[in-house]
C-alpha cells in the first residue's frame, strides 16, 4: 500500500470522525435549548402576523386557521397575495369572513423587487397595525400558544429578534420524506448547535418575530429585496443595532409539499445555496461533518474488509442513533423515526447537493430561474420554464 493511498484513507476518516462528534454535540445543544423556559407570558402587546402567500400549498387552510385560533389578544393576521387569480384566494377569503376581526387580506401585484417573498412582505406591511411583527410562511402550522411563546422574549428591549424551531410534517411521498429528514435530522441539529455555541449567525425566516421600529432602523423590508437570504440579512442588520437574538424552545410544523422528485431536488439545492450565500466558508466546511458518505467511501476503498465495515457500521450507528434521539426526544417526530431507514441515501444526495450549491450560481424558485452573485444578491434570468418548486412563500 503506497503512502499516497494510506494518506487518502486517513483523510476520508476526518469527516467521518467530524460528523460523529457533531451528531453527539448536536444532542447536547438540543438539550440545552429545550431546557430553556418557554410558554405563556403576561406580556401580550398587540401583534401583526405577516403571511406571504404564493399559490395553493398543501394543507393551506389548516395552516392559516391555526393562526386564526391563536390564544392571544390584539392579534392581526395580514395575508398578502400578489396575483388576483392566485388559487389560494378562496381559502383566504373564507377565513377572512370567518375571522373578520383578525384576518386582513392584501392583494397587490408585484413591484420590481427581485425577491418575491420580500415584495409580498412589503405589501403586507402597508396594512400592519402593530409594532410587534411575526413573519410566518404559508406552510407553517402552529399550536394555540405560539404567539405568546414568540412574543415573550421581546419584553426585553435588548432582544432584536426571536425565532422558533420547526419540524417537517406531512411527508406523504417518498421524496417528501427526504425533505423531512433534511429539516429534522440535518437542519435542526445545525441550528441548535449554532445557537448554543455561536458558531454561526442565523435568522429563521419561516418563523421570526421582531419590532417594526427596528425594521425601520435598518432600512425597511424593501431594502432586503435583492438578497437571496433575506432572513439572514434581516437578522444580521438587527444584530448590527446592538440587539441580541433568542431561539425559543418552541416547535412549529412545516408541511412538506412537493409534487415530484425534481421539485424536491430544486428545493434542496436552493436551500444549500441559501446557506452558502449566508456563510460561504461555513457552508464549505460542512463537508467535514458529513460522516456517512465518506464512511461508505472508506469502506469501499478497503474493499469491505473488517476495518472498513467497522468504520461504516460505527458511523451508521452514531448518525442513525443521534437522529433517532433528536426526532423522538426533542422534536416528537414520529414520521421521522419511521423514515430513518432513508437517511443514508438522503445523506449521499445531500453531499451531491452541497457540491452543486458550491459550483452553481443560479437557482430555481417557484418556477423561475435566477442568478446569484457572490455577495448573496439575486438577479432574474428566466421565468416559467422550470417546474414549480413548492415549499415556501416567495
Q: Identify the band that residue 383 occupies on the pLDDT scale cut at 50, 70 and 90.
A: low
Q: Distance between CA 119 and CA 80 in Å, rounded?
A: 9
Cα separation values, 328 from 323, 331, 332, Å: 8, 6, 5
Largest CA distance in the chain: 75
Best-predicted range by mean pLDDT (92-106, 220-234, 263-277, 363-377): 92-106
pLDDT at 390: 31
Residue 269 belongs to domain spanning:
1-394
Q: Identify the band that residue 369 occupies on the pLDDT scale cut at 50, 70 and 90.
A: confident
Does residue 152 surpass a pLDDT of 70?
Answer: yes
Centre a 10 Å sphere on the Cβ of residue 42 and count the other Cβ atoms it contains: 7
DSSP state of 242: T
Contact between 245 and 239 under an 8 Å Cβ cutoff? The reply is: yes
Does residue 258 surpass a pLDDT of 70?
Answer: yes
Does residue 116 surpass a pLDDT of 80?
Answer: yes
Q: Identify the band that residue 367 occupies on the pLDDT scale cut at 50, 70 and 90.
A: low
Q: Which three cell numbers stand for residue 271?
A: 436551500
Q: Which three cell numbers stand for residue 170?
A: 406531512
User: What CATH number is associated with residue 289?
Assistant: 3.90.550.10
Q: Identify the band that residue 389 occupies on the pLDDT scale cut at 50, 70 and 90.
A: very low
Q: Which three cell numbers stand for residue 103?
A: 384576518
25-47 pLDDT, tens digit each: 999 999 999 998 876 678 999 99
Contact between 379 and 371 under an 8 Å Cβ cutoff? The reply is: yes
187-207 pLDDT, tens digit each: 999 999 999 998 878 899 999
The mean of the pLDDT values for the chain is 91
* Residue listed under C-alpha cell 452553481: 360
Q: Distance between CA 123 and CA 104 in Å, rounded?
A: 12
pLDDT at 52: 96
Centre a 10 Å sphere on the Cβ of residue 157 and count the other Cβ atoms it contains: 9
How many domains are there within the chain? 1
Q: Which of 241, 229, 347 has the alpha carbon at shortest distance from 279?
A: 229
Q: Which three cell numbers stand for residue 252?
A: 412549529
Query: Which helix (H) or strand (E) is 9 found in, with range?
Result: helix 3-34
Give one word for 56, left, alpha or beta, with left for phi > 0 and alpha for psi -120 to 50. Answer: beta
Question: For the whole model, what pTM was predicted?
Answer: 0.90
Does residue 219 surpass a pLDDT of 70?
Answer: yes
Does residue 147 surpass a pLDDT of 90?
Answer: yes
Q: Using the CB atoms, write b or e for 329-367: b if 16+ within 10 Å.
A: ebbebebbeebbebbbebbebbbebbeebeeeeebbbbb
Amino acid at each position: 500500500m503506497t503512502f499516497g493511498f494510506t494518506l487518502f484513507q486517513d483523510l476520508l476518516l476526518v469527516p467521518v470522525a467530524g460528523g460523529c462528534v457533531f451528531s453527539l454535540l448536536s444532542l447536547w445543544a438540543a438539550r440545552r435549548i429545550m431546557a430553556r423556559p418557554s410558554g405563556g407570558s403576561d406580556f401580550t402587546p398587540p401583534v401583526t402576523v405577516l403571511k406571504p402567500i404564493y399559490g395553493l400549498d398543501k394543507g393551506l387552510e389548516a395552516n392559516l386557521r391555526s393562526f386564526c385560533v391563536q390564544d392571544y389578544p390584539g392579534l392581526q393576521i395580514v395575508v398578502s397575495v400578489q396575483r388576483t387569480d392566485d388559487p389560494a384566494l378562496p381559502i383566504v377569503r373564507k377565513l377572512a369572513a370567518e375571522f373578520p376581526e383578525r384576518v386582513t387580506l392584501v392583494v397587490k401585484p408585484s413591484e420590481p423587487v427581485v425577491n418575491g417573498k420580500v415584495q409580498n412582505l412589503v405589501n403586507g406591511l402597508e396594512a400592519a397595525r402593530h409594532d410587534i411583527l411575526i413573519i410566518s410562511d404559508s406552510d407553517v402550522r402552529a399550536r394555540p400558544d405560539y404567539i405568546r411563546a414568540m412574543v415573550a422574549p421581546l419584553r426585553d428591549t435588548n432582544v432584536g429578534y426571536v425565532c422558533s424551531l420547526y419540524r417537517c410534517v406531512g411527508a406523504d411521498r417518498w421524496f417528501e420524506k427526504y425533505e423531512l429528514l433534511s429539516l429534522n435530522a440535518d437542519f435542526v441539529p445545525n441550528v441548535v448547535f449554532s445557537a448554543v455555541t455561536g458558531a454561526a449567525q442565523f435568522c429563521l425566516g419561516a418563523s421570526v418575530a421582531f419590532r417594526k421600529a427596528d425594521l425601520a432602523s435598518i432600512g425597511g423590508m424593501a431594502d432586503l429585496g435583492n438578497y437571496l437570504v433575506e432572513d439572514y440579512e434581516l437578522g444580521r442588520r438587527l444584530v448590527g443595532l446592538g440587539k441580541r437574538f433568542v431561539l425559543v424552545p418552541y416547535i412549529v410544523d412545516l408541511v412538506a409539499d412537493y409534487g415530484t422528485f425534481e421539485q424536491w431536488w430544486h428545493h434542496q439545492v436552493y436551500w444549500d445555496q441559501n446557506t452558502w450565500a449566508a456563510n460561504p466558508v461555513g457552508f464549505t466546511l460542512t463537508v467535514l461533518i458529513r460522516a456517512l458518505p465518506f464512511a461508505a467511501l472508506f469502506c469501499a476503498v478497503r474493499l469491505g474488509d473488517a476495518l472498513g465495515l467497522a468504520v461504516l457500521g460505527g458511523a451508521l450507528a452514531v448518525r442513525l442513533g443521534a437522529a433517532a434521539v433528536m426526532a423522538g426526544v426533542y422534536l416528537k417526530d414520529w414520521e421521522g423515526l419511521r423514515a430513518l431507514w432513508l437517511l443514508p441515501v438522503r445523506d449521499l444526495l445531500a453531499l451531491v447537493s452541497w457540491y452543486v450549491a458550491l459550483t452553481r450560481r443560479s437557482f430555481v424558485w417557484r418556477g423561475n430561474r435566477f442568478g446569484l452573485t457572490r455577495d448573496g444578491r439575486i438577479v432574474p434570468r428566466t421565468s416559467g420554464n422550470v417546474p414549480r418548486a413548492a415549499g415556501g412563500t416567495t
